[in-house]
Amino acid sequence: MQCLDKRTEIMTVAMELLAENGFHGVPMSMIAAKANVAVGTIYLYFAGKDELITELFQEVEKEIVATLREGFPTEGPMRERFLYLTGKILRFLVDNPLKFRYIEQFMNSPYGISMRRDRLLGKTVPNGIFMALFEEAIADHVVKDIPIIALFSLTIAPLIFLVRDHILGFVTLDEALIRQTTEACWDAIKR
Amino acid sequence: MQCLDKRTEIMTVAMELLAENGFHGVPMSMIAAKANVAVGTIYLYFAGKDELITELFQEVEKEIVATLREGFPTEGPMRERFLYLTGKILRFLVDNPLKFRYIEQFMNSPYGISMRRDRLLGKTVPNGIFMALFEEAIADHVVKDIPIIALFSLTIAPLIFLVRDHILGFVTLDEALIRQTTEACWDAIKR
DNA sequence: GCGAAATGAATGAACGTTCATTCGTTTTCT
DNA sequence: AGAAAACGAATGAACGTTCATTCATTTCGC
């Protein structure tokens, strides 16, 4: 076992445990045990629990941005591009429930709160694509004339709630429902 | 100083601290200090931290249900009744940011998760009014033919996100924007 | 009416547990 | 052998909870 193997293993295991049990429900010793590693070893790769948690988030964030950019049509009808993006993110979250739950944990923890604050003016990386799309849509007058952040809430919030309900088993997000709900989101914001 | 005074004071102070700092960011000693009470005194009125947290939530829940029922028109056009309810809940949350943040904390904690699970079949009290409205709307074919839980997400989720952004100062939820966004929510679900 | 006894609300030091982090030792690799 | 990596027992801080003690107020006996 070499350097990168252990580091990756720790991150994989930590993602699973933290997503399922919450940040406070997972002692470092638990991560160490499941990764077949000594507690001290984790501190060879991460400065502390905080850094481990933060780094895990940044990794997922990068992955989502990459997924969204991949194959995204920069031209064409606004509605199609919108449905492409929302469908893509919905599918990613449904296919990666662990990562979804991790993001939720993070966003609702002090880490996420302060991150949101820090990004008050700077652009949030994963939403950058959405924001750009909305700005274009506003300029073209194809969406309602309300603050861009409201457009964002009307779009993203239902998707997140739906994924949560899907993971909890309250609803099944198949392709048909994904289509219907993303179209409904468009109906909400279209002029 | 009598019985109810102290109990009320503890609950008021706990609501503030817990809403602002999160459940794990507030030791019992902090609540005691701010309530000008000894730590042990809290245990005279509450079995433990868990019970205090749960009771606080139930109190807010009751208040919201009462607010929603108050003046709610049981007859009339579906759209008007929908806008009445969504506007009412939006105003309540904007006017009570502390309670909003507390609810968020609770819902994203193990308490809230297991509560959601427990209510899988039973009706959630605060949403019972919404659910009844949706069922009627479905029967009347005035909303889209998608699972009721999806209708719910399309409606409630954006409102919650908007309130959060309002409290953080990203947007100002005045009467005009409340009107625009609740109407947008209706556009999302209407047939 | 008045002193003595009982009450129980309030207190906060002490306890036991949990957990992140450290560091002296051991193992592995070159 | 020497350096790098890994180990895990030990440490100490934080926190929820307990309980022996205090004391203002009420009740009782005369």
Question: Using one digit for the tens of pLDDT, what is the confidence trace for A127-139?
Answer: 688 889 999 999 9
Residue whose pair of structure tokens reads 């009598």 in the numeric block? B2
* DSSP 8-state assignment for residue B37: S
Structure tokens at B135: 């069922």
Q: What is the mean pLDDT of chain B?
A: 93
CATH 1.10.357.10 maps onto chain B at: 57-189
Question: Which residue of B131, B166, B187, B189 is the best one to mutate when testing the A interface, meaning the one whose CB has the most A CBs within 10 A?
Answer: B187
Q: What is the mean pLDDT of residues A81-106?
A: 98
In this structure, what are the phi and psi dihedrals at residue A110, rounded to the nearest 5 degrees?
A: -55, -35
SS3 of residue A190 by DSSP? strand
Q: Label residue B172 exposed, middle or buried (CB < 10 Å: 0-12, 13-18, 19+).
A: exposed
Query: What pLDDT score does B1 carry?
Result: 37
Mean pLDDT of B115-139: 80
Out of A127-131, B17-21, B25-29, B160-164, pick the least confident. A127-131
Q: What is the location of CATH 1.10.10.60 in chain A?
A: 1-46
Q: Which residue has the higher pLDDT, A191 or B124?
A: A191
Calpha distance A77→A97 (Å, rounded): 31
B177 touches chain A (CB under 8 A): yes
Rounded distance between C-alpha atoms, residue A157 and residue A116, angstroms: 16
Band of residue B2 on the pLDDT scale cut at 50, 70, 90 = very low
Each residue's pLDDT tens digit, A117-172: 888 666 555 568 888 999 999 999 999 999 999 999 999 999 999 999 999 998 99
Is A160's Cβ below 8 Å from some Cβ in B?
yes
Contact B149 A158 (CB under 8 A): no
Cβ(A65)–Cβ(A127) under 8 Å? Answer: no
> Cα separations (Å) of A126 from A80, A92, A123, A158, B176?
20, 13, 9, 17, 29
Domain B1-46 has CATH 3.90.1150.10: no
Q: Is the pLDDT of residue B66 over 60?
A: yes
Q: Tell me what the pLDDT averaged over chain A comes to.
A: 93
Query: Beta carbon of A29 within 7 Å of strand C?
Result: yes
Q: Measuring from the CA of residue A47 to each C1', which nucleotide is nearest?
A: C21
pLDDT score recorded for residue A42? 98
Say how far apart CA B166 and CA A153 lie, in whole Å: 11
pLDDT tens for B41-61 read: 999 999 999 999 999 999 999
Note whether A158 contacts B158, CB cutoff 8 Å.
yes
CA pair distance B115, B58, nearest whole angstrom? 11
With a cut of 80, say whether residue B3 has pLDDT above it.
no
Among the four given CATH numbers 1.10.357.10, 3.40.50.920, 3.30.1360.40, 3.40.50.2000, the one describing domain A53-189: 1.10.357.10
At the second CATH level, the architecture of B57-189 is: Orthogonal Bundle (1.10)
With vertex at residue B29, the alpha carbon angle to CA A54 and CA A21, rounded to the nearest 5 degrees, is 35
